[in-house]
Every structure is written in C-alpha cells, then in structure tokens.
Amino acid sequence: MKISIVGAGYVGLIQGVGLAELGHEITLIDIDQDKVDLINKKVPPIHEQGLAEALKKVELKASTSYDSISKADVVFVCVGTPSREDGSINLDYVYSCAHSISENLDKYAVVCVKSTVLPGTTEKFGEILSESGRVFGLAHNPEFLREGTALNDFRNPDRVVVGQSDEKSGDIVARIYESFNCEKLRTSIRASEMIKYVANSFLATKISFANEVANMCENFGVDANEVWEGVALDNRINPKFLRHGAGFGGSCFPKDVKALIHASKSGGYDPLILNSVIETNELQPKRLIKLLKTLMPDVKGKKIGVLGLSFKPGTTDVREAVSLKVIDELLGEGAEVIAYDPSAMKEAKKLLGDKILFAQTLQEALERSDACLVVTEWEEIVEHDFSGFDKPLIDGRGVKKPNQSYRRIGKPF
C-alpha cells in the first residue's frame, strides 16, 4: 500500500521503517528539514536499537512536502502531543496538520491518527478534514512502543487495535498489519483512543503501587524484593512493571496520566487513583535524597554522583527523567553534582549546561564523588561491582553487587 506518515519523530519513524519492512511504500513527512535530510541519508535522528541497520535496508522517502498524500491509500498522523504547563494535552500540531492533509487529499484515503489523543480528538480532526469537502475514511490506531525496544515491539506486538469510523476504513488499516500473528481488535474510534490512555495509566499505576509498597516495607523492616517475589508468583498479578525504585519518567507515562486526569476533571470527574499515581511518583525521587541523608546528613558543598541520566536504559532520551528531579533537589540543597550516563550525556548537557559536572566514565564518577545515587538501570551501572566503593551508595534501581555503605529504596537498614 502507499502510505504517508506525518511526523517523523519516535513513533512516525519506527512506524515508517516497520511498515517499509512489510513491503509498503512509505513517505515520511516532517516540518524539520534536518530530520528529513538525516533520514534520506539513512542516518537515524534518534538512538534506537536496530534502527540504523533497518533504515539502511528499507526503501523509504522523507520530505517536508505533503505532496505524497495525493497518492496515498493511508495517511498516518504521528505528530507530537506534548503537555502544557497545567498538564493538559497540546493538540495544536494534530489540528494544524489536519489542514495540510486535507489540502492535499486528491482521492479516497484513510486518515488514521496514531498520536496519543483523548477520546473525541480524532472525530474533531475528521471534522476539520470534512471542511475541505474531500472524501476520506477515518481511523485511530494507537502505538504501544517502548523506547529502546521500539522496533522490536513494532515487529512483535501483543495486539493491534484499530478504531474505525466505518467498516471500510477499519478494513483498510487492518490490512496493513495482516501479516502480524497477534490479536487484532476492531473498536470504535473513542474506545481505541481510550485504550492507549488506560494501558499507560494502568502500567504507571502498577509502578506507583510497587513504590508505595516499597516505601511501606522500609518502615515495616521488610525487604520489598522478598515481598514482591512472593506476591508476583500469583499468576493473576505477574511481576511485570512492578519494579520499585526512583519512579517513572519518559515522554509518555507522566504526560498521558496527567492529560487523562486533566481531561477527566474538566468533564466533572476527578480521578482519585490516578492523582495518587502522579503524587507518589513525584515524591519518589525525593526518597533517594532522604536515604542519602541517613548516611550524609548535610549534603551542602558535597560532590554527589548521579549515575544514569536517561529516563530508562537503552535510550538517550532525558524527557521527564527522574535524574533531572534528583539533580534539581541536590542543587537546591547546595550540593555539587557530577553525572554519568553511558549514552545520554549529550542530551543531558543540552538541558543542564554548566549547572553540573559530567564524568566521562563510571569509574571517574565514582572517584570524583563523595557519595553516589543510582538513578537509571543501565546494565553497566546495576551490574557494576561496587564492593570496593567506600562512600555512600544510594540505590533507586537495584544494583546487583552493593557495598558496605549502602541504602536501597524498599530495603530496611
């Protein structure tokens, strides 16, 4: 099929490469000329496992022009949907590209929103398209990709969800994924939009619940790891997304949960559980500092190592990373920060500039600091043998070989 994808960010690019691997003819459209040039030179603008090799192998075009839409069978909308200051979702990019798409629709095509949008948004998007008088199909098809393993997640999905305005639109979108051997669900457009929010909110809830349990365990004198081992053996509860620690970050969980809360409140229902999920998550990085103070009561003037800057391992992305909150707290207390990350130093430097120091290696961070905090579960960090490190080590992710002067979230001391 001929497919145009508007927005060549994380989701658009993975979708484009993945669909090109399935044999579809793909054009990526993006307003960012630099990104377009990189993609055409087969250089991935983002760090994602396997993406450089895959991009080299597939045929795929990128452009700043919307021309390809006139020939497309399906147009995917993958522009970003960032958070506003108040937590609400900013849909400006989604609606503005609706105008550009409708101006270029020449024949029947299905326009399928893939960006994470609140129930009702795709229908409103369809109303903008309708103003042009063009004939088109409308659908919503959420993505469930995790950064770091996005291409693999695209190739091996748990399920494909297609929200459709009518049977024909749904059939066309579903046909794109027909070679996938997984459950394929056809729903209303609003249900499809909501499925994405509920999936992310539930996963975020699991993490905040695990963190709450860990915090209680510390007080009860119980090791949370032992507790979860016993709890997660119940096959109704499984161990996934119950790793306690410093909290969740990234471009999706915080943004999506806040957007759902904000929209629900505006509609007259203030969700109790989801508010607590966010509140627990905001307090969690502070627990690392609290644990540090049990070993180093005054951090003022001390050099504190922050190990791990990206929001999770396997990515250079520092959006909403726990490391940023931890660094803010430390600087607020008058500490000096020396940070290390195996991949995300460049991204972090753009945000933090000269507010902190950066170590080139893990060893350098350990040597130059008076205490260290483990913030991201990079293998290099959690597998490191800290037994020879004789300063305070505060663990927010679960290091395998700790030292004598050690505190971990969820472990009594």
- Answer yes or no whether residue 97 interacts with ligand UDX by CB under 6 A: yes
Is residue 330 within 8 A of residue 324, CB to CB? The reply is no
Task: List the one residue from 311, 378, 386, 406 that touches ligand UDX (CB under 6 A).
Answer: 311
HSE of 33 in the Cβ direction (CA atoms, 13 Å)?
Answer: 0
Name which of 358, 238, 369 is nearest 296 in CA terms: 369
- Answer yes or no whether residue 79 interacts with ligand UDX by CB under 6 A: yes
Look up 78 and say whether it is catalytic: no
For ligand UDX, give the closer residue by CB, 165 or 310: 310
User: Residue 60, SS3?
Assistant: coil
Binding piece for ligand UDX, criterion CB under 6 A, among 48-56, 74-82, 181-189, 291-299: 74-82
Q: How many CB atoms lie within 10 A of CB 385?
A: 11
- Answer yes or no whether residue 224 interacts with ligand UDX by CB under 6 A: no
- Answer yes or no whether residue 143 interacts with ligand UDX by CB under 6 A: yes
- Answer yes or no whether residue 253 interacts with ligand UDX by CB under 6 A: yes
Task: List the one residue from 72, 213, 242, 345 that touches ligand UDX (CB under 6 A).
Answer: 242
Amino acid present at 73: D
- Answer yes or no whether residue 245 interacts with ligand UDX by CB under 6 A: yes
137-140 and 159-164 strand pairing:
antiparallel
- Answer yes or no whether residue 291 interacts with ligand UDX by CB under 6 A: no
Instruction: For the CB of residue 80, give the shortest distance to ligand UDX in the complex, in Å.
Output: 4
383 secondary structure, DSSP code: T
How many residues touch ligand UDX under the rule CB under 6 A: the total is 39
Task: List the one residue from 243, 258, 325, 408 that touches ligand UDX (CB under 6 A).
Answer: 243
- Answer yes or no whether residue 254 interacts with ligand UDX by CB under 6 A: no
- Answer yes or no whether residue 396 interacts with ligand UDX by CB under 6 A: no
- Answer yes or no whether residue 165 interacts with ligand UDX by CB under 6 A: no
Distance between CA atoms of 3 and 19, rounded to whole angstroms?
9
Is residue 47 within 8 A of residue 316, CB to CB? The reply is yes
Task: List the one residue from 3, 5, 8, 352 that touches ligand UDX (CB under 6 A).
Answer: 8
Binding piece for ligand UDX, criterion CB under 6 A, among 48-56, 65-73, 137-145, 170-178: 137-145
Binding piece for ligand UDX, criterion CB under 6 A, among 118-126, 162-170, 172-180, 237-245: 237-245
353: left (phi over 0), alpha (psi -120 to 50) or beta: left
Distance between CA atoms of 106 and 350, rounded to whole angstroms?
42
Distance between CA atoms of 330 and 352, rounded to whole angstroms?
13
Distance between CA atoms of 61 and 76, rounded to whole angstroms?
15
161 secondary structure, DSSP code: E
Please report which helix (H) or strand (E) contains residue 5, including its range: strand 2-6
Residues that bind ligand UDX in the complex, under the rule CB under 6 A: 7-12, 30-32, 35, 78-81, 93, 96-97, 115-116, 143-147, 200, 203, 207, 241-243, 245, 248-253, 311-312
Task: Indicate which residues carry an active-site annotation.
Answer: 252
